[in-house]
Amino acid sequence: MKKLNENLKLEIVELVENKPQFPVETQNHSSPNETVPPNKLYGSNLKKLKSFKNIRKTAKMNNLKFQFIKDLYPILLFLPPADENNDLDDDILVQVMELAEQHFFYGEKEEREQLKLESVVEIMLPYFRNDDKILEKAIKNVSNRVKKLSKKDRLCKKFKVFFCINLKKLVN
């Protein structure tokens, strides 16, 4: 058992030292940390303007998408797509889809679903031989295995985020 642990540690060290060179391409979305326009200007609330509200919402959702991809990239370094075990692997796809489900809990259902799909496709394309059709069919096949968040779960997450941010403001 001890020898197995040592071998596993050596393999992990080798993986970290020899990082695979497959950058996750961030296409079709805004630059990292797109600035969200302020909601007030000279004491007037700009959120009353519908077009301005949509601009703010789009910027926030693009930031969520970028953050999700940025957070998953270091984890995916340990699962190179060139490896035979990871090629066309449904389990990795299911895990990434569940993580996307947990991460995107803001916005309307259509927006959330669109962002989740775009993010999963962007991340998982190298694992499915860069073929959109294969990935699309795999997503349809495994979508019933993904645990969906209920409205209550999303609401609880929103409250947690809201109170954590306000608690940090109070402490500082």
Q: Give per-residue pLDDT as tens, 140-155.
A: 999 899 888 888 888 8
- CA angle, residues 59, 65, 66, in degrees to nearest 5: 90
Give whole-number Cα distances, 125 to 89, 96, 102, in Å: 11, 12, 20
Mean pLDDT value of segment 40-54? 76
Query: What's the pLDDT at 16?
Result: 43
* Cβ atoms of residues 49 and 39 within 8 Å: no
How would residue 166 be classed by pLDDT, with cut points 50, 70 and 90? low
Provide the pairing of β-strand 40-41 with 44-45. Answer: antiparallel
* Cβ atoms of residues 124 and 135 within 8 Å: yes
**Of the spans 31-40, 115-124, 141-150, which averages the highest pLDDT?**
115-124
Query: What's the pLDDT at 29?
Result: 40
